[in-house]
Amino acid sequence: MKFFVDTADVGQIRELAATGLLDGVTTNPTLIARSGRNFLDVIAEICAIVPGPVSAEVVATEHEAMVAEAEKLTPIAPNITIKVPLTLDGLKTCKVLTDRGIMVNVTLCFTANQALLAAKAGATFISPFVGRHDDVSWDGMDLIEDIKTIYDNYNFETEILVASVRHPIHVLQAAKIGADVVTVPPDVIKKLFNHPLTDKGLESFLADWAKTGQSIV
Q: Report which DSSP code applies to 196.
A: H
How many other β-carbons are positioned within 10 Å of the β-carbon of residue 112?
20
Q: What is the DSSP string of 170-217?
A: HHHHHHHHT-SEEEE-HHHHHHTT--HHHHHHHHHHHHHHHHHT----
Grouping H, G, I as helix, E, B as strand and the rest as coil, residue 81 is strand
Contact in structure between 168 and 186 (CB atoms under 8 Å): no
- Which of 72, 83, 92, 200 is flagged as catalytic? 83
Q: Report which DSSP code applies to 75.
A: G
* Inter-helix orientation angle 168-177/140-154, to 10°: 20
For the question of residue 83 being annotated catalytic, the response is yes
- Cα dihedral 70, 72, 73, 79 in deg (nearest 10): 90
Q: Report which DSSP code applies to 132.
A: H
* Residues tagged active-site: 83
